Homo-oligomer: A and B are copies of this chain.
Amino acid sequence: MVVAQVPDWGKWGTANALLPRVPAALRRVARTRHFARGEILYRRGDRAADILCVLAGELRLTRASRTGTEVILQRVRDGFIAEASLESKAYHCDIVAADEGELLAFPIAAFRHALQHDATFHAAWSAQLAREVRRLRAQCERLSLNSAAERICHFIEADGDNGEVTIGQSRKSWAAELGISHEALYRALRRMQDEGALIVHGARMRMRMKP
């Protein structure tokens, strides 16, 4: 792995809630790594040696079904990814770079040690896991809806702010996150616009209230 000492902690950790709570001893053993778009950082089954935190770009936790379709399980642009790997010997998913960027890698043993000896940090970590649990429950709920339009509405309500959301990705990969084909997504968006239920401006879209 291409690594380097972390140069400056001050510039990171503004958006992510957990990073500022990382204790000094753990910071000292963290390494940065640059990644290119499309790069596969870890594969399912690889030994889980590090806890990863995305600083720039985008990483995704994915799994390929038997038929070859890629399922997006987590999508992170700022913060920790694959948090559950702390408790297992190997990664259970692939970790791929959707956008060129940079990550922080914390050796797992040091990470465990820090949690064990810093209750504040441990509390922040638990809160992070709880957030991820809630996010995943919302995603399960969304995937249980059986029309494309319903999933789109659910996404805007859950991930958006007051009926408005900005899609931070291509529509094609948004479709994968919603568990539908990209054609179905395009058509559903078109129909919803025609019916006046949705207003689309590029990557920003807004639900319209029913009369």
Identify the A interface with B (CB < 8 A). Answer: 61, 63, 65-67, 69, 71, 73-74, 83-84, 86-88, 92-93, 115-117, 119, 122-123, 125-127, 129-134, 136-137, 139-141, 143-146, 150, 179
**Closest Cβ of chain B: how far from A92's Cβ, in Å?**
6
Residues of B close to A67: CB separation below 8 A: 150
Closest to A69 in B: B144
CB distance A133 to B84 under 8 Å?
yes
Q: List 10 A-B contacts (CB under 8 A).
A: A65-B150, A66-B150, A73-B137, A83-B130, A86-B130, A92-B134, A117-B119, A119-B122, A122-B126, A136-B140
CB distance A140 to B140 under 8 Å?
yes
Q: Is the interface of A mostly helix, strand, loop or mixed?
A: helix
**Closest Cβ of chain B: how far from A25's Cβ, in Å?**
16
Once bound together, how far apart are the Cα atoms of A88 and B63, in whole Å? Answer: 30
**Closest Cβ of chain B: how far from A12's Cβ, in Å?**
23
Residues of B close to A137: CB separation below 8 A: 61, 73-74, 84, 92-93, 136
Once bound together, how far apart are the Cα atoms of A179 and B116, in whole Å? Answer: 39
Once bound together, how far apart are the Cα atoms of A119 and B69, in whole Å? Answer: 41
Once bound together, how far apart are the Cα atoms of A83 and B136, in whole Å? Answer: 13
Residues of B close to A69: CB separation below 8 A: 144
**Closest Cβ of chain B: how far from A150's Cβ, in Å?**
7
Closest to A132 in B: B133
Known: A119-B116, A143-B140. A130 touches B65 (CB 8 A): no
Once bound together, how far apart are the Cα atoms of A132 and B134, in whole Å? Answer: 10
Once bound together, how far apart are the Cα atoms of A131 and B84, in whole Å? Answer: 7
Closest to A181 in B: B146
Known: A122-B122, A136-B136, A179-B144. A130 touches B84 (CB 8 A): yes
